[in-house]
Amino acid sequence: MDTSSISFTAHYTGQVWAKNGLSNPQWQTPTGRLSYHALSPFEWVGKRIVGGNIRTFLLQRHLIIDHLLHQALERHPELQVVEIACGLSPRGTRFCQQYPQLRYLEADLPAMAKRKNKLLKKVGAYSQRHFALPLDFFRQDELGLRALFAQHLDHEAPVLVITEGLINYFELATLAPIWQELAQLLQQFPQGYYLTDNYPLLDNDPNKALMETLSGLLGWVSRSNVNFHFNSLDAIAPHYQELGFSQVRVHNPEDYYARLSLPENRGNPLVHVLEMQV
């Protein structure tokens, strides 16, 4: 399966991080600046008219994942992290600065991984404990997930995997074997955790039209299909438990508005963050 077109959206999200003080300004790209300005009118309409836009849920999911990662590191100072489809995410540099002992591996398609390593070196953040690796999780060879886990992780220490802004590009049936393999790999460690984002399209949700509009816009930008996986929050945990995750928690941004100073949207949040454990 060709996933290369999705990397285009990494430039847009990278620009959103930079504009909100989460990323190094040197990581802005011409593509990111262009797409940020091109989508600004649509983002303005979404925020003013219907109370939410792409930038809102990008920041909501990013900051909640950060919060949950901080909590995991408090429980397990020896934790090692793998961020799949890292793109231009600044999370690795921020967390490695705050946690000097942290081993943080980033992974993406070969071209993006190469670019990420250049950026890490540019800002002096590249090291033996923080670098990017080529990965295509649909493959079973040396670029696959199993090879990364076998060659680059300490199986005596806990591990936490992050995928942010990735899974909504694929159907549930396509992702099921990937999640099942991930759960099996995580079981090889003392503790195994998985953080990801999800966009449930709930029945009778007043934001349904907004979700469909945003998905169409995102699909056009990324030249791919955008999928909504669940029409009920109650359906999420059983799905992942069948694939091998014993504990599944669904985090609603509304519960974090006061604690994390998240950008808010009217009505139900468009994104939820999933926290899983094997």
Domains and CATH numbers, the chain: 4-277 (3.40.50.150)
Greatest C-alpha distance within the chain: 51
pLDDT at residue 195 in the model: 98
Residue type, 273: V
Alpha carbon distance 265, 132 (integer Å):
34
Angle between helix 145-152 and 172-186 (nearest 10): 20
Ranges of residues in the chain with a pLDDT under 70 are: 1-8, 49-51, 203-226
Q: How far apart are CA 134 and CA 54, in angstroms?
A: 27
Predicted pLDDT of residue 1: 46
State the CB neighbour count (10 A cutoff) for residue 79. Answer: 21
Q: At 70, which helix (H) or strand (E)? A: helix 54-75
- The answer to whether 134 and 37 have CB atoms below 8 angstroms apart is no
Per-residue pLDDT at 215: 62
Residue 270 pLDDT: 81
Residue 275 has phi, psi (to 5 degrees) of -120, 120
Can you give the pLDDT at residue 6?
A: 47
3-state secondary structure of 275: strand
Q: Tell me the three state secondary structure of residue 140.
A: coil
* pTM for this model (two decimals): 0.91
Q: List the structure tokens of 87.
A: 């793109």
Please give the C-alpha separations between residue 243 and each of 138, 140, 173, 175, in angstroms, as whole numbers: 17, 19, 12, 10
How does DSSP classify residue 3?
Answer: -
Chain centroid to CA 86: 7
Beta-carbon contacts of 13 under 8 Å, excluding residues fewer than 6 positions away, are 58, 87, 88, 89, 165
69: nearest Cα among 50, 96, 32, 47: 96
Whole-angstrom distance, CA of residue 110 vs CA of residue 125 = 19
For 246, residues 6+ apart whose C-beta sits below 8 A from its C-beta are 277, 278
DSSP H stretches of helix in 76-156: 91-98, 110-122, 145-152
pLDDT of res. 211: 63
CA distances for 84 relative to 5, 6, 177, 208, 243, angstroms: 16, 13, 16, 29, 19
